[in-house]
């Protein structure tokens, strides 16, 4: 159970839907809940419900749980950032851990167009020209004691990050200029940020970077985990096709290509759908599916491997690849094959 230091109540919360305050227990999807803070009614967002689970390295799961713990009355939770290639499961990890702790989860997708009011409170024109204030998923999690995932946080500008600075330190508050209110986070509120390792991102300001600690790196899964991920997401796929796609991904991981488990799920689903449509074995369409999902880079890797300076003679033609399945080594069987490999 997550605990936190005692804090004098500041937010006055009232549910117009139930007439009860302040816990708002049993907040069902579809319930129109309005809370009142400093005399301003706020419409709350709904938590996210995703049928998923974490399949992968248990070490990163334990690191995330430890970051969210508090161990003394004066302690506060940390605000971890999850980094890694797109599609390796950063959001899935955060969501699964949050749900395992029994808390509501709110996901806020960050973009370069995300404004401070998008992160906090947004004014919306209601009936008769009145203004209704809608709390963001982040602010809703603060009020209800949930967990918020800021997805792809390094796509946001510094102006947006600046509005969150007091939330990410000992103050644990935000101030909405639009609504004219200050909101104090519930003692059970937690937050984490996922960050993709690609070129289409902003540099995080140092004063924010120092608040987003610790850094937890999510790497590519081992072969056994990759197979389990594919089975979970595409349970209707044939086993031999699942293993083929897993082998393809493992060979790509070994030479540091960015093909992810998400790509593998899409390859597997599309090949299965084409096979169903054309009434033929799905493995017949794997090359077509790889081209559709990964483009020319995927086809080049599948047909002839990578250039010699990166391939190092490891892989041959498509036929050799299909006839020679990936053999996991001792480190792979221990699920630590890629733990120490930089992106």
Note down pLDDT in tens along the chain; length 343 residues.
444 344 434 454 443 333 323 334 444 444 448 999 999 999 999 999 998 889 988 999 999 999 999 999 999 999 999 999 999 999 999 999 999 999 999 999 999 999 999 999 999 988 777 899 999 999 999 999 999 999 999 999 899 999 999 999 999 999 999 999 999 999 999 999 999 877 667 788 999 999 999 999 999 999 999 999 999 999 999 999 999 999 999 999 998 898 999 999 999 999 999 999 999 999 999 999 999 999 989 988 887 654 333 433 334 444 454 445 545 444 444 444 334 433 3
Please answer whether residues 146 and 104 qualify as being in contact, where contact means their C-beta atoms are separated by less than 8 angstroms.
yes
Looking at 3.40.50.300, 3.40.50.150, 3.20.20.80, 3.40.190.10, the CATH number of the domain 34-217 comes to: 3.40.50.300
Please answer whether residues 185 and 144 qualify as being in contact, where contact means their C-beta atoms are separated by less than 8 angstroms.
no
Nearest C-alpha neighbor of 146 from the set 72, 94, 88: 94
Task: Report the pLDDT value the prediction gives residue 299, as an integer from 0 to 100.
Answer: 87
Helix (H, G, I), strand (E, B) or coil at 120: coil
Please answer whether residues 147 and 141 qualify as being in contact, where contact means their C-beta atoms are separated by less than 8 angstroms.
yes
Copy the structure tokens of residue 169. 């330190």
Nearest C-alpha neighbor of 223 from the set 202, 203, 196, 244: 244
Task: Report the pLDDT value the prediction gives residue 13, as an integer from 0 to 100.
Answer: 46
Task: Report the pLDDT value the prediction gives residue 175, as an integer from 0 to 100.
Answer: 95
Task: Report the pLDDT value the prediction gives residue 5, as an integer from 0 to 100.
Answer: 40
Task: Report the pLDDT value the prediction gives residue 196, as an integer from 0 to 100.
Answer: 87
Task: Report the pLDDT value the prediction gives residue 11, as an integer from 0 to 100.
Answer: 52
**Rounded alpha-carbon distances, angstroms, from residue 134 to 189, 235, 333:** 19, 39, 49
**Secondary structure letter of residue 72 according to DSSP:** S
Tally of CA atoms within 13 A in the half-sphere of 313 that contains its CB:
0
Residue listed under structure tokens 């949050």: 98
**Rounded alpha-carbon distances, angstroms, from residue 10 to 39, 177, 195:** 12, 17, 32
**CB atoms < 10 A from the CB of 244, how many?**
21
Question: Where do the DSSP E strands lie in the chain?
Answer: 34-37, 40-43, 81-84, 105-109, 121-125, 131-135, 147-151, 173-176, 181-184, 190-196, 215-217
Please answer whether residues 283 and 241 qualify as being in contact, where contact means their C-beta atoms are separated by less than 8 angstroms.
yes
Residue listed under structure tokens 């792809």: 152
Task: Report the pLDDT value the prediction gives residue 330, as an integer from 0 to 100.
Answer: 42
Please answer whether residues 68 and 2 qualify as being in contact, where contact means their C-beta atoms are separated by less than 8 angstroms.
yes
Domains of the chain by residue range? 34-217, 223-333
Cα(174)–Cα(143) distance, integer angstroms:
11
Nearest C-alpha neighbor of 259 from the set 297, 214, 228: 297
Beta strands at 147-151 and 105-109: parallel, antiparallel or unpaired: parallel
**φ/ψ of residue 134, rounded to 5:** -110, 125
Residue listed under structure tokens 């031999």: 240
Please answer whether residues 64 and 94 qualify as being in contact, where contact means their C-beta atoms are separated by less than 8 angstroms.
yes
Give the CA angle between residues 262, 65, 70 to the nearest 5°: 150
Task: Report the pLDDT value the prediction gives residue 33, as an integer from 0 to 100.
Answer: 87
Helix (H, G, I), strand (E, B) or coil at 42: strand
Nearest C-alpha neighbor of 60 from the set 85, 78, 80: 80
């Amino acid at each position: 159970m997550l605990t936190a230091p005692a804090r004098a109540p500041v937010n006055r919360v009232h549910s117009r839907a139930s007439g009860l305050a302040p816990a708002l227990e049993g907040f069902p999807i579809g319930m129109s809940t309005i809370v009142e803070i400093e005399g301003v009614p706020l419409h709350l967002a709904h938590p996210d419900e995703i049928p998923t689970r974490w399949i992968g390295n248990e070490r990163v799961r334990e690191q995330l749980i430890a970051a969210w713990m508090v161990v003394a009355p004066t302690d506060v939770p940390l605000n971890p950032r999850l980094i890694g290639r797109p599609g390796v499961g950063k959001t899935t990890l955060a969501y699964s851990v949050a749900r395992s702790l029994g808390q509501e989860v709110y996901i806020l997708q960050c973009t370069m167009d995300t404004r401070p009011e998008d992160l906090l409170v947004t004014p919306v024109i209601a009936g008769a020209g009145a203004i209704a204030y809608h709390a963001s998923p982040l602010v809703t999690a603060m009020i209800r004691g949930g967990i918020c995932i800021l997805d792809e946080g390094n796509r946001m500008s510094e102006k947006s990050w600046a509005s969150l600075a007091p939330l990410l330190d000992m103050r644990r508050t935000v101030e909405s200029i639009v609504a004219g209110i200050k909101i104090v986070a519930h003692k059970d509120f937690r937050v984490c940020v996922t960050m993709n390792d690609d070129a289409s991102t902003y540099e995080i300001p140092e004063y924010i970077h120092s608040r987003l600690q610790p850094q937890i790196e999510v790497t590519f899964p081992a072969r056994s985990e990759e197979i389990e991920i594919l089975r979970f997401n595409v349970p209707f796929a044939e086993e031999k096709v699942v293993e083929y796609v897993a082998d393809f991904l493992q060979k790509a991981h070994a030479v540091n290509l960015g093909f992810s488990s998400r790509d593998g799920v899409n390859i597997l689903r599309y090949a299965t759908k084409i096979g169903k449509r054309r009434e033929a074995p799905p493995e017949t369409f794997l090359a077509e599916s790889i081209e559709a999902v990964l483009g020319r880079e995927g086809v080049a890797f599948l047909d002839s491997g990578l250039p010699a300076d990166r391939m190092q003679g490891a892989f041959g033609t498509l036929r050799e690849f299909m006839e020679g399945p990936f053999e996991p080594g001792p480190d792979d069987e221990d699920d630590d094959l890629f733990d120490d490999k930089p992106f």
